[in-house]
Amino acid sequence: SIPGMTVYRPADPVETAAAWVYAIENQGPTCLVLTRQNLPLYPGEIGKNARYGGYILSREKSGSPALLLLATGSECELALQTQAALWDRGVDSRVISLPSWEVFARQTPEYRESVIPNTVRARLGIEAAARFGWEEFIGLDGDMICMKGFGASAPAARLFEKFGFTVENAVEKALALLK
């Protein structure tokens, strides 16, 4: 990262608006990294929580998740689909959107803990970029679905399948973390 630079990678139009407001109201350079993919608008106003840099996009059904699914940008949709598939298998999980690591790092320790509880060590990060930097969030016991190379060219759906950005692969990796 560049000192003083704040990066936002929004998951939907509401997160994009929250990132834009941040860029206007704060000193220093802000980079909005947007996708060309068609993304859904998530229900309600939850995306406004992007102003905190990271937040719970979808809560677990019980009071304590067995697993955390962390993602940014368009990968949040895969995390939500994975959560639904895990629920079908009886595994409770929480989906966390992390649109800005820099802004999330400036939140209080209590807030960060409320989003990413230290007691939940089974964590799967989903990022269609390099793994670099994700260790801070997934910890030593976590795993990643990420890119290990650069330069492939094909329709997005074909590339996502080739590189393991599928619900099936995410569920498999998530279940392996729980063993």
104-149: pLDDT as tens digits: 999 999 999 999 999 999 999 999 877 778 899 999 899 998 877 6
Say if residues 145 and 161 touch (Cβ distance below 8 Å): no
**pLDDT (tens digit, 9 = 90+) per residue, 75-84?**
999 999 999 9
Which ranges of 55-108 does DSSP label H, i.e. alpha helix? 75-88, 101-105
Average pLDDT, the chain: 89
Residues 116 and 134: their CA atoms lie apart, in Å, by 13
* pLDDT band at 22; cut points 50, 70, 90: very high
Residues 137 and 68: their CA atoms lie apart, in Å, by 10
Residues 154 and 81: their CA atoms lie apart, in Å, by 23
More reliable by pLDDT, 89 or 165: 89
Say if residues 100 and 49 touch (Cβ distance below 8 Å): no
More reliable by pLDDT, 19 or 147: 19
Q: What is the pTM of this model?
A: 0.91
